[in-house]
Amino acid sequence: MPNERLITLTPLPQHVEQRPGELILRSPVGVAADSGAAKAADLLRVELGRATGLRFESADEAAAQLILRTEAGDGEHYRLEIEAQRAVISAPQAGLIHGVCTLRQLLPAANWRSAPLPGMTWSAPACVIEDRPRFGWRGCMLDVTRHFAAKQTILRFIDLLAMHHMNRLHLHLSDDQGWRVEIKAYPRLTEIASHRPHTGLGFATSPNDPNDGTPHGGYYTQDDLREIVAYAAARGIMVIPEIDLPGHSRALTAAYPEFGCFPDKTIEVGTYFGISSDLVNPLPHTIAALETILEELLAIFPAPWIHLGGDEAPLDPWRNSPAIRAHMASLGVENAEAMRTWFTAHFAEFLAAHGRRLIGWDEIIHYGGLAPDSAIMSWRGEKGGMKAAAAGHDVVMAPVFPTYFDYAQSDSADEPLAIGQSITLEDVYAYEPSARWNDKSTFDKVLGVQCQLWREVILDDAHLEYMAFPRLCALAEVAWSEQRSDFDAFRARLAHHLERLDHYGVNYRPLEGPHPWQKGGTGRKAYQMRFNIKEALAWLDNWAESGEPPAEHRSE
Ligand code: ACM
């Protein structure tokens, strides 16, 4: 009989061989780790110590039950060998954490609790596992602007990403509806731009739509973000910050109207959604301010990647502002499109001078101005990604279908509020990033894949977990595993894997459909269908040929 825990590993490992017998951890558990493995060993001691109540002590290899050995080189691959007497994880430094993750999946799922259950035996089946990721970028984007996520929510989310061998957390920190990062040089960003008086109900696109009448907001101090970065790094996860420019800047320009296109215009932090015309201007005083903001951001986030957004920016405000027109003339820049090229080029150079790389949504490939090492996140389907790859840029695949997890998980009206109908677990699992890639010779520019949790209509933490899980388990397997199974086999494995989420207390959507308390009902979370995914794909595909959003999809 194959051991259940071995055959329910999620995402599926490259190679698994079951051996006879099992390892039973007994207090005190000796842990041997070389200096390169010290951090992974610390994490194992802290997390397993809390969940199991076992005592973990340093030991030499001869006496140890758990051995972590650092191999030379890079990469996230690992080898885990479990025998009756001991478990050995051998990996380059970045791979050790994945060996620890798999070891945890082989122990009783209760090791994802925060305190020990009585009467547990902490056993793991004897085996040899050789494993490596398919893609180096296995990401998740959290929109913390439209609805704020408390710091603890992000830390918890990091635990769940780590459970699935995910390694990138992209934080969408600024948008029309809120600015979420403390910037010491610009205090009004937190005083004014970090909150709004109310939020339009559903996917409201006008100030005249009904709203909830409740203030909403929040921000992270720089120390909060440093804590998040360090917590994620300890779990093998890089945090990539996004400041969305030049569009989606209503909150920024509400706080500092002089950075907007019409300084006399009264701008308020967004209370409804859609594509706004509140862009930052590209004038020298604004460019200098954005550099100051980015310098503070770079001091918080050590990631080589800085995401500068670039999506959904109608350029009419740049065309219509006399000051911007005069500035373009003084630079010899012909039109607003060329000014966008200048804008991207400027910040690509700025980031390069600080040793970082620019990444942005796929509109930016349309305008150009990228540095050779800039990268594209392809969201309007594959076209932007293919164009960028052909031009030699790295690409992260984040297409609306099937990586936008703000779409409902089924067509049933029982689903809670979602942006549209629907992206199922099966859709996510079936996603093959290369399938629609025309020139396969450029597919090696694809760094990986990422799911998106846009939060216009994801209202609270429970709702967030419901939309994320279990689709994130499927995305993780797409991103990690070269050994993907068919959907039915995945679904059967997932039924067991979900026990791990149960112990952690995740509000996932059961495979059979929502629990009664997860349904949308008729209140604030009542299901509404704003977008049908198939219709959305048709207009996104059209739009992907150009930069500016179609007029009918702008909110004001
Ligand atoms: C996006 O969905 N506007 C990147």
> How many C-beta atoms surround the C-beta of residue 309 within 10 A?
24
Q: Tokens 């100051």 label which residue?
A: 292
Q: Give, using CA atoms, the residue closest to atom 1 of ligand 1.
A: 311
Model pTM? 0.98
Report pLDDT digits (tens) over 436-471.
Answer: 999 999 999 999 999 999 999 999 999 999 999 999
- In the 8-state DSSP scheme, what is residue 39? H
Q: How many CA atoms lie within 13 A of 426 on its CB side?
A: 9
Which whole number is the average pLDDT over 26-40?
A: 97
Separation between Cα atoms, residue 56 and residue 532, nearest integer Å: 52
Among 163, 157, 303, 164, which Cα is nearest to 233's?
303
CA 361 distance to own-chain centroid: 14
Whole-number Cα distances in Å, 97 to 8, 9, 107, 215, 234: 19, 15, 15, 40, 8
Q: Would residue 312 show up in a list of annotated catalytic residues for this protein?
A: yes
Q: Give, using CA atoms, the residue closest to atom 2 of ligand 1.
A: 379
- Please give the pLDDT value at position 485: 82
> How many C-beta atoms surround the C-beta of residue 37 within 10 A?
25
Which pair of structure tokens corresponds to residue 152? 């603890």
What atom in ligand 1 is closest to the CA of residue 400?
2
Q: 522 CB contacts (<8 Å, ≥6 apart)?
A: none
What atom in ligand 1 is closest to the CA of residue 309?
4
Report pLDDT digits (tens) over 244-303.
Answer: 999 999 999 999 999 999 988 999 999 999 999 999 999 999 999 999 999 999 999 999
Residues with CB under 6 A from ligand 1: 311-312, 361, 379
Whole-number Cα distances in Å, 438 to 209, 241, 374, 377: 43, 31, 22, 17
- Please give the pLDDT value at position 553: 83
Separation between Cα atoms, residue 337 and residue 318, nearest integer Å: 9
What atom in ligand 1 is closest to the CA of residue 377?
4
Task: Give the active site residue among 81, 312, 406, 548.
Answer: 312
Query: What separation in Å is there between the alpha carbon of 175 and the centre of ligand 1?
Result: 11
Q: 26-40, 158-172, 539-553: lowest mean pLDDT where? A: 539-553
Separation between Cα atoms, residue 42 and residue 65, nearest integer Å: 15
Q: Could you please report the per-residue DSSP string of 129-180?
A: EEE--S-SEEEEEEE-SSS---HHHHHHHHHHHHHTT--EEEEE-EETTEE-
Query: What separation in Å is there between the alpha carbon of 330 and the centre of ligand 1?
Result: 32
Among 219, 281, 291, 220, which Cα is nearest to 256's?
281
- Confidence check: pLDDT of 527 > 90: no
Which whole number is the average pLDDT over 320-341?
A: 98
Question: What average pLDDT is seen over the chain?
Answer: 97
Query: What separation in Å is there between the alpha carbon of 103 and the centre of ligand 1?
Result: 37
Residues paired with residue 56 on neighbouring β-strands, in sequence order = 29
Q: Would residue 456 show up in a list of annotated catalytic residues for this protein?
A: no
**Is residue 1 very low, low, confident or very high in pLDDT (cuts 50, 70, 90)?**
confident
Task: Give the active site residue among 98, 195, 248, 366.
Answer: 248
Which of 174, 312, 363, 423 maximizes ligand 1 atoms within 8 Å of its Cβ, making it the mutation to test the pocket? 312
What atom in ligand 1 is closest to the CA of residue 398?
4
Q: What is the CA radius of gyration of the chain?
A: 24
**Is residue 38 very low, low, confident or very high in pLDDT (cuts 50, 70, 90)?**
very high
Separation between Cα atoms, residue 422 and residue 528, nearest integer Å: 11
Report pLDDT digits (tens) over 344-388.
Answer: 999 999 999 999 999 999 999 999 999 999 999 999 999 999 999
Separation between Cα atoms, residue 143 and residue 457, nearest integer Å: 11
